Amino acid sequence: MNRTGGLPTNPLRDPADRRLPRVPAPCALVIFGVSGDLAHKKLLPAVYDLASRGLLPPGFVVLGFARRDWTDADFEAAARDAIQEHARTPWQEEVWARLAGNLKFVPGSFDDDDAFDRLSQTLDDLRESHGILGNAAFYLSVPPTQFPVVLKQMERTGMADNEASGGWRRVVVEKPFGHDVQSSRELNELVDHVFTPEDVFRIDHYLGKETVQNLLALRFANTLFDPVWNSNYVDSVQITMAEDVGIGSRAAFYDATGAARDVLQNHLLQLLALTAMEEPVSFSADAIRAEKLKILTAVGIPEGDQRDLYAVRGQYEQGWLAGQRAKGYLEEEGVPPDSTTETYVAVRLLVQTRRWGGVPFYVRTGKRLPRRVTEIAVVFKKAPHLPFAETDTESLGNNQLVIRVQPDEGITLKFGSKVPGSAMEVRDVAMDFLYGAAFTESSPEAYERLVLDVMLGDSTLFPHAEEVDASWRIIDPLEEYWAGHKPHKYRAGEWGPKAADDMVAVDGRHWRRP
C-alpha cells in the first residue's frame, strides 16, 4: 500500500517551496466518544483551527460516533458550540462554512453491531460523496475499558483494513495505554493486530507542545549545550509536573490509577527520555524512537531498602490553595475513605549509560500543589575551584538550565554574577528566554499539531508500543513495592510530602522551587 494514501507526485509541490503547508490527503476523522469532554474541548476546536489555517485537505469529513440520539444537524450544532467556546483562532463564518456539511454523526453504542455496520457503510458512502478516497483516522476518545470492544468491532466490519479500504486506516489511542506491562501488551497486541503497527498513533499531548520540540532544537541544533550535557558537568536533573487542581470529577478513574500511572509512566518518562537521549542519526520518527527507547531501557529504579527513601508517594489532605479551601483527597466525592491511591509521586531514577552514570534524575508530579507548572531543570556541578574568598560566594548556587514546558514557555539560565558594589560578591541571577508570553499566541495547540500529524502519517511525536512497554517495566516494580505501603500525607497547597524533601536532602540537594 502506498503510505501517502495512493498519491502520485504532484508537479506543484517543490521541496524548496516552504510556504505551501503540508496538507494531508483527503480523509475522514472518525471520533468515537464525540460527545465527551476531550472532543468538546480539544478535538473539534483543533479541527476548526486546522481549517482556519488552511491545513485540511479539500475532501475532509468529521464522522462522530456516540451513544446520543443526535442527527447530523444536532452534531453540527454541538460542534459549533464547542468550537466557539474553545477554538484558538477567532470565529469566522467562512471557516465554519467549510466544515459545516462535512460533519456527520452515527448514533450507537459500542456493543451494537448494527451501529458499526452503519458507520462502515457511512464511510463507504462518504468516499464517493465527499471524495475522501477511503482514508480514515479513528480517534478513540473513549474509556480504556472500551478499547477492546471498539477495536473488535472495527476488525469485524473491516474498517481497519488498509487493503480493503484502498487507502490508509489509522487509529489514535489516548492514554492510559494499559495499567501495567501485562495489560498494555494485551492492548498493543490487539490494536496492532486490528491495524498495522505503523498505523497506530498513541497520543501523549505533551509531545505536541512547542517547548518539548524546542528541547530537541536546543540540544541538537546548538554547539553550546552538548559538551556539558553529561555527568562530567551535570550534577542532577529535576523534572517537575505540578498541577494545582484536584481530581475533579474523575474520581473513579483516578482512584484506580494514581499519579504514577497517570503521569509518571507517560509524560514524565517521555520528558526524561528526550532530555537524556543521545543525538538521533536523523530527525525521523524511527531514529528518535530508537534513541528514546535506549534511555527508557537504561533507566534504573531504586531497589531494596533504597525504595523507602527514593520512591515516595503522597496523598493530599485538606488545606488552602490560592486563597481557597481545598478538600482532602479522601473527602473528594467518589473516593473511598480508606483509599491508598497516590496523588503525588517523586522518584529518584538513574540513567545507566556512560553519559549519565551517577547523575540522579529526580522526577515528581502531584495534584493540589501550589501552582501549575511543568519544567525540566538541568542542575550543573559547582565549579571545582573558586578563586574568591569563601564569604564572597556564599549565595552562589549551582548553575541551572531550566526548560519551562508550561506555562511561560521558555528557557531560564541561572548563573552567578557579581553584585554591583565595591566588594567582590557573587550571587545567582536568572536570564529568561521567553519562548512564550505574547509570542506563542500564534503557535498551535498540541492537539492541533498531533491531529494533523496523524492525518499526514508522521509518527515522530508519538510514543511507540516499545516505549510504552519499557515505561511500564519501570513503573511496575515501583507499584509492586507501593502496594504494601500507605502514601505520605501532604497539605493541599504545599510542595508535596516531607518525605520527598528528605529524598533529595540525603543526597545533599534540594528541590528547585518552580
Partner 1 sequence: MTTLWDTTGTEVVKALGEARRGAGMVSGLALTLVVVADEKKVAEAEVAATKAAAAHPCRVLIVVRRQIDAPQPRLDAEISIGGRLGPGEAVVMRMYGRLALHAESVTLPLLAPDVPVVTWWHGEAPERIAYDPLGVFADRRVTDAAQAADPIAALQIRAADYVPGDTDLAWTRATPWRALLAGAFDTLGTHRVVSARIAAAPKNPSAYLLGGWLRARLGISAEQTDSAGPGITEVYLKLEDDTELSISRHDGFSALMHRTGVQDRRLPLQRRDVGEPLAEELRRLDPDEPYAAALSAATGLVLDQRPRARVHVWRDAVPAAG
The residues carrying an active-site annotation are 267
Q: For partner 1, give the closer residue by CB, 233 or 439.
A: 439
Cα-based torsion angle of the residue sequence 447, 450, 452, 456 in order, rounded to the nearest 10 degrees: -170
Residues contacting 175, CB < 8 A, separation 6+: 202, 203, 204, 266
Least Å distance, CB 93 to partner 1, is 8
Angstrom distance (rounded) from CA 244 to CA 440:
23
Least Å distance, CB 456 to partner 1, is 12
Q: For partner 1, give the closer residue by CB, 194 or 218.
A: 218
Stretch that binds partner 1, among 94-102, 104-112, 149-157, 176-184 (CB under 8 A): 94-102
Binding-site size, partner 1 (CB under 8 A): 40
Angstrom distance (rounded) from CA 253 to CA 251:
6
Residues 342-371 that bind partner 1 (CB under 8 A): none
Angstrom distance (rounded) from CA 302 to CA 363:
13
Beta bridge partners, 132, equal none
Name which position in 3, 13, 325, 510 contacts partner 1 (CB under 8 A).
Answer: 13
Residues 242-301 that bind partner 1 (CB under 8 A): none
CB atoms closer than 10 angstroms to residue 401: 20
Angstrom distance (rounded) from CA 411 to CA 377:
10
Least Å distance, CB 160 to partner 1, is 23
Residues 65-84 that bind partner 1 (CB under 8 A): none
Q: For partner 1, give the closer residue by CB, 13 or 418.
A: 13
Stretch that binds partner 1, among 5-13, 114-122, 179-187, 215-223 (CB under 8 A): 5-13
Q: For partner 1, give the closer residue by CB, 19 or 354.
A: 19
Least Å distance, CB 450 to partner 1, is 21
Q: For partner 1, give the closer residue by CB, 6 or 397.
A: 6
Name which position in 2, 71, 84, 92 contacts partner 1 (CB under 8 A).
Answer: 92
Residues contacting 253, CB < 8 A, separation 6+: 143
Distances 270 to 279, 297, 506 between C-alpha atoms, Å: 15, 12, 27
Least Å distance, CB 20 to partner 1, is 5
Cα-based torsion angle of the residue sequence 261, 263, 264, 267 in order, rounded to the nearest 10 degrees: 130
Least Å distance, CB 440 to partner 1, is 10
Residues 409-468 that bind partner 1 (CB under 8 A): 432-435, 437-439, 441-442
Least Å distance, CB 10 to partner 1, is 5
- β pairing state of 103-107 and 60-66: parallel
CA angle 486/491/496 to nearest 5° reads: 70
Residues 114-173 that bind partner 1 (CB under 8 A): 129-131, 133
Residues contacting 276, CB < 8 A, separation 6+: 237, 295, 351, 353, 355, 356, 361
Q: Which of 198, 115, 188 is nearest to 153 (CA)?
A: 115
Burial class (CB in 10 A: 0-12, 13-18, 19+), 146: middle
Q: For partner 1, give the closer residue by CB, 126 or 207.
A: 126
- With b for 16 or more beta-carbon neighbours within 10 A and e for fewer, the 448-469 pattern comes to bbbbbbbbbbbbbbbbbbbbbb
Q: For partner 1, give the closer residue by CB, 181 or 218.
A: 218
Residues 20-59 that bind partner 1 (CB under 8 A): 20-21, 23, 25-26, 51-52, 54, 57-59
Stretch that binds partner 1, among 3-11, 110-118, 174-182, 500-508 (CB under 8 A): 3-11
- Answer for the pair 275, 213: CB distance below 8 angstroms, yes or no: no
The three cell numbers of residue 252 are 473513579
Name which position in 3, 7, 164, 286 contacts partner 1 (CB under 8 A).
Answer: 7
Q: Give yes or no for a cis peptide into 407 (omega within 30° of 0).
A: yes
Least Å distance, CB 159 to partner 1, is 21
Beta bridge partners, 240, equal 364, 375
Name which position in 2, 67, 81, 97 contacts partner 1 (CB under 8 A).
Answer: 97
Q: For partner 1, give the closer residue by CB, 89 or 365.
A: 89
Report the helix count and the strand count for the chain, using DSSP H and E. 16, 18
Q: For partner 1, give the closer residue by CB, 214 or 297.
A: 214
Least Å distance, CB 322 to partner 1, is 24
- Residues near partner 1 (CB under 8 A) are 7-8, 10-14, 16-21, 23, 25-26, 51-52, 54, 57-59, 92, 94-95, 97-98, 129-131, 133, 432-435, 437-439, 441-442
